[in-house]
Amino acid sequence: MRLKLGAYIRVSTEEQASAIEGSLDNQKYRLKAYTDLKNSQVKNWGEIVDYYIDDGFSAKDTRRPAYQRMMSDIKKGKVDLILVTDLSRLSRNIYDFCNLMDELEKNEAQFLSIKEQFDSTTPAGKMMIYNMINLAQFEREQISERVALGAHSRAMRGLMNGARAILGYDKHEDKPGSYIVNEDEAKDVRKIFRHFLNTGSCAKTVKELTQEEIRPKLSGKFGKLKINDKWTCQTLTNLLSSAAYTGFHEVNKKNKKKDQSRLKPHQQYKLVKATWPAIVPQAEFDLAQGLLAEAKKLERVRLEGAEDRFYILSGILRCGECGSPMVGQAAHGEKQVHKYYGHTQAHRNTDCQFHRVPAQDVEAAVLDYVWAAIQDAGYLGKIETNIRQMRNVKSLNVAREKRSMREQLKNIQTKIDGLLLMQSQASPEALKFAMKTFEILSKEKVELEDRLLRMSHDVDHEEMVKDSVGMIKEGLRDFQRGFAKAKGSMKKRLLKKLLKQVVMMPEGFHVFMELADTVEIPNHQIKLVRFEESKEQISSLAIAQKASGDDSNLSVFRSDINKIGDRVWT
């Protein structure tokens, strides 16, 4: 049977991509030429079904988009042989390569490198392959260490290793890695430090900077980074904590808080004299660091004492009438603070029935449901049934049926080859019978191939169902293990992993679970519909399959909460 080839192409840098040898186009040409050569030697040897191109990604790990897409296609049966120009294009990490080999074996797939040409089905071939990957990893780590040592040497001389110029400085034209003072911007930097020292607050300083129209350094797009020209507390903190303004350069700043005794010399944090002049006095800089440390300490104390005021359904709860999010709010009474979920300021002028609901009741209802689901032995079975009904997916033993069909195709192809061989020696009557048989077999082959193609589509749905149920099962398990002892932020993450949305409707609210096929949809917006029926018209036993026009979600629960917070179970 013809092999379905996945041609994998990778380069690490733009320089390699533009080079003649090893470039993207060169690799693509070599893979196509090799496939054509093999097809000329062996009839119907294989066909490239897709090219998987990672432009500018290292092979040190598997965090490469095209690589991940290729592995997904292997699991789906779209690809059964990975074709590369050489092993280093695929992996330079022995651990990742071992995992790749295990994954290929599980899915009855193979890989082939044009350069090495080792047979991975023999012990000797496997040994040579692993040795080559080991050498590739050694080479990668050596190159990485040489680059790190070179960068460290430059940094210790007070030079920058790349990055854009910071506010107050411009890049030195004749001395790469150094800065020259931008006098206009330097005045703004000094103002920023004075504002912060006067107010002691990042938020107030941001407000003053916005009023005075002092903006962060903006130099267009830097690589893949989109630069925002508005101040935030984080961007302001980054500026205030930069020792570059005092004429010093921080070497290995990311390792500043690590145990220095455990690091290699070229990885340790150092503060060295920079090659550019200071624009902020050291005394002012030190005072700013003290204020930042104090603010951070107060923020930690505030967060630790704010667990009781944490809204665990924030980002999950929505109004089912207008579709807007319902966010956590608080009202201060004479004796206590009352927590609510309500419409945002931008959506308060609506005629929705629920503008604000008590947080305690909504959270209790959702948590009661989750605990009930954990205790229900047949819960996951009901979930799977509902997903299949929505997606119209039939339960089938896909792997067994595909193997059977492939075996039939193999037998048919053997018979066809036999008929073609006997044509030269057959009598006219036998030849006539052979042609008729050939037509029948060809028709059966086409029908089987069409059925196999349609089944591949069914496999995608079947895997979606299994993955979705698996996700919900994992979410319930994590919830059961950690929710009771977790703090507010962790409780919110555990719920967010399990629930996609809780939609508040006039007759109650519906819980939508997180499904596997919705993960890759960016900025997903549910298409909500206004509910016109009254409570009396709705059966108390009804459980809605869908509360919106989005059939990728799964509604599995309904309860009623009225305006004063009394919970009525239906």
| Percentage, residues of the chain above pLDDT 90 | 18
- The answer to whether 503 touches 320, Cβ cutoff 8 Å, is yes
Please give the structure tokens belonging to residue 509: 């609210």
The first and second tokens of residue 558, run together, are 């309904």
CB–CB of 102/75 below 8 Å? no
Q: Give the chain's residues under pLDDT 50.
A: 14-21, 220-226, 394-396, 459, 517-570
Per-residue CA distances from 250 to 168, 243, 260, 283 (Å) = 17, 7, 14, 18
C-alpha dist (Å) from residue 115 to 29, 47, 51: 14, 19, 18
Question: 497, exposed or middle or buried, with CB in 10 Å at 0-12, 13-18, 19+?
Answer: middle
Query: Can you spell out the DSSP letters for 310-325?
Result: --TTTTTEEETTT--B
**What is the per-residue pLDDT across 457-476, written as a single tens digit (0 to 9) for each?**
554 566 667 777 888 888 88
The predicted structure's pLDDT at residue 191: 93
Beta bridge partners of 8: 52
Name the residue type at position 244: A
DSSP, collapsed to helix, strand or coil, labels residue 273 as strand
Which pLDDT does position 397 carry in this prediction? 53
Dihedral sign, Cα of residue 557, residue 471, residue 553, residue 392: negative
Q: What's the confidence (pLDDT) of residue 340?
A: 86
Q: What's the pTM value of the predicted model, to 2 decimals?
A: 0.44
Angle between helices 202-211 and 233-240 in degrees, nearest 10:
100
The burial class, CB within 10 Å (0-12 / 13-18 / 19+), for 558 is buried
Q: Of all helices (H) and strands (E), which one includes residue 107?
A: none
* Residue 549: predicted pLDDT: 29
CB 499 within 8 A of CB 526: no
Q: How far apart are CA 10 and CA 316, in angstroms?
A: 39
Q: Which residues pair with 512 in a beta bridge?
A: 501, 555
Q: Which two tokens stand for residue 527?
A: 């298409």
| Token code pair at residue 501 | 């949305």
Closest CA to 492 of 305, 328, 320: 328
Predicted confidence (pLDDT) per residue in 371-409, tens digit: 888 888 787 887 777 776 665 554 445 556 777 777 888
Angle between helices 65-76 and 94-106 (to 10 degrees): 20
